[in-house]
């Protein structure tokens, strides 16, 4: 049986058995045990089952950051923790950043904690996620994050940025044009995509170039995050666009 612990809640995988959940909760020192069936829709809402306990709100500590969240209302991807810290460490002093799919602050909060950005404009469409984004800004005592409730397709053009984070993997390429149009010359985009392994070195960067028009695109890095499904990887493309 595989599991992940988020704050004081245990998430079991699909292979869980009808174990003594009370004993399991004591063993892992958690108040609730859940199963997340899948994440659905553009608002990334969980379909879940509570196996033990009742409380689904918790505070998770990761990379020196605090994340308050309700696992019955918003998603949490534990496998992306290294990527969240990697991006934060790339942000240079005084940068203006746009986080297009901010969620509860998965990328915005580490940037706020570990970098010295001028401002991070964090856009989130899900009211529940936006609520926890605002809570996490307060929880981490950050003053340079600007939370925005809305569709990033609509809100992104209101800003210009030196760096844009696109931390969403489904149909993310549909948002590339609006992102690139808001990126300053010489700015960097971090574009997430799920891609067949055989297309990993070609399709994502070709999609960026197609939307960049006559602007120059320099591939900086292809970062493999994790296997998404058999033969398919979740990757992040770092690209500089002049």
CATH of the domain at 117: 3.40.50.150
pLDDT reported for residue 18: 64
Which one of 13-17, 182-186, 229-233 scores highest in mean pLDDT?
A: 182-186
226 located within any domain: yes
- 103 shares its domain with 221: yes
Give 94: exposed, middle or buried? Use CB within 10 Å, 0-12, 13-18, 19+: exposed
73 located within any domain: no
158 located within any domain: yes
pLDDT reported for residue 43: 67
68 located within any domain: no
| pTM score of the predicted model | 0.90
Task: Look at residue 66 and give its three-state secondary structure.
Answer: strand
pLDDT reported for residue 3: 81
pLDDT surpassing 80 at residue 78 = no
- 114 shares its domain with 49: no
45 located within any domain: yes
Q: Is residue 206 a contact partner of residue 199, using CB atoms and an 8 Å limit?
A: no
Average pLDDT over residues 89-111: 97
- 216 shares its domain with 120: yes
| Domain containing residue 187 | 78-241
- 103 shares its domain with 182: yes
- 47 shares its domain with 164: no
Q: Report CA dihedral (193, 196, 200, 204) to the nearest 10 degrees.
A: -40
- 102 shares its domain with 206: yes
27 located within any domain: yes
- 30 shares its domain with 119: no
pLDDT surpassing 90 at residue 240 = yes
Domains in the chain: how many in total?
2
- 232 shares its domain with 119: yes
Nearest to 191 by CA among 234, 223, 236, 153: 236
- 82 shares its domain with 51: no
Q: At 12, is the pLDDT very low, low, confident or very high (cuts 50, 70, 90)?
A: confident
8 located within any domain: yes
201 located within any domain: yes
pLDDT surpassing 90 at residue 195 = yes
Q: At 170, is the pLDDT very low, low, confident or very high (cuts 50, 70, 90)?
A: confident
What residues have CB less than 8 Å from 141, skipping those under 6 apart?
Answer: none
pLDDT reported for residue 1: 58
- 94 shares its domain with 191: yes
- 126 shares its domain with 180: yes
What residues have CB less than 8 Å from 86, skipping those under 6 apart?
Answer: 223
- 151 shares its domain with 229: yes
Mean pLDDT, the chain, rounded, equals 92
Q: At 49, is the pLDDT very low, low, confident or very high (cuts 50, 70, 90)?
A: confident
Q: At 4, is the pLDDT very low, low, confident or very high (cuts 50, 70, 90)?
A: confident
pLDDT surpassing 70 at residue 219 = yes
The predicted-structure confidence for 106-122, as pLDDT tens digits, reads as follows 999 999 999 999 999 99
The predicted-structure confidence for 19-36, as pLDDT tens digits, reads as follows 688 888 999 999 999 888
Nearest to 104 by CA among 191, 6, 30, 192: 6
């Amino acid at each position: 049986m595989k599991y992940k612990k988020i704050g004081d809640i245990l998430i079991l995988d699909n292979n869980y058995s009808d174990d003594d959940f009370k004993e399991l909760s004591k063993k892992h020192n958690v108040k609730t045990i859940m199963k997340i069936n899948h994440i659905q829709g553009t608002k990334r809402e969980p379909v879940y089952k509570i196996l033990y306990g009742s409380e689904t709100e918790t505070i998770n500590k990761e990379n020196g950051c605090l994340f308050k969240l309700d696992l019955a209302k918003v998603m949490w991807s534990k496998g992306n923790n290294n990527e969240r810290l990697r991006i934060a460490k790339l942000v240079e002093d005084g940068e203006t950043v746009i986080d297009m799919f901010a969620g509860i602050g998965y990328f915005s909060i580490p940037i706020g904690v570990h970098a010295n950005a001028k401002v991070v404009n964090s856009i989130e469409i899900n009211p529940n996620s936006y609520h926890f984004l605002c809570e996490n800004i307060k929880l981490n005592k950050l003053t340079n994050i600007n939370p925005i409730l809305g569709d990033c397709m609509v809100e992104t053009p209101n800003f210009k940025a030196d760096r844009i984070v696109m931390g969403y993997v489904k149909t993310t390429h549909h948002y590339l044009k609006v992102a690139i149009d808001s990126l300053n010359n010489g700015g960097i985009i971090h574009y997430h995509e799920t891609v067949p392994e055989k297309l990993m070195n070609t399709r994502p960067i070709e999609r960026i170039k197609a939307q960049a028009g006559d602007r120059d695109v320099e591939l900086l890095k292809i970062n493999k995050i994790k296997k998404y499904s058999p033969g398919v990887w979740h990757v992040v493309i770092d690209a500089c666009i002049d």
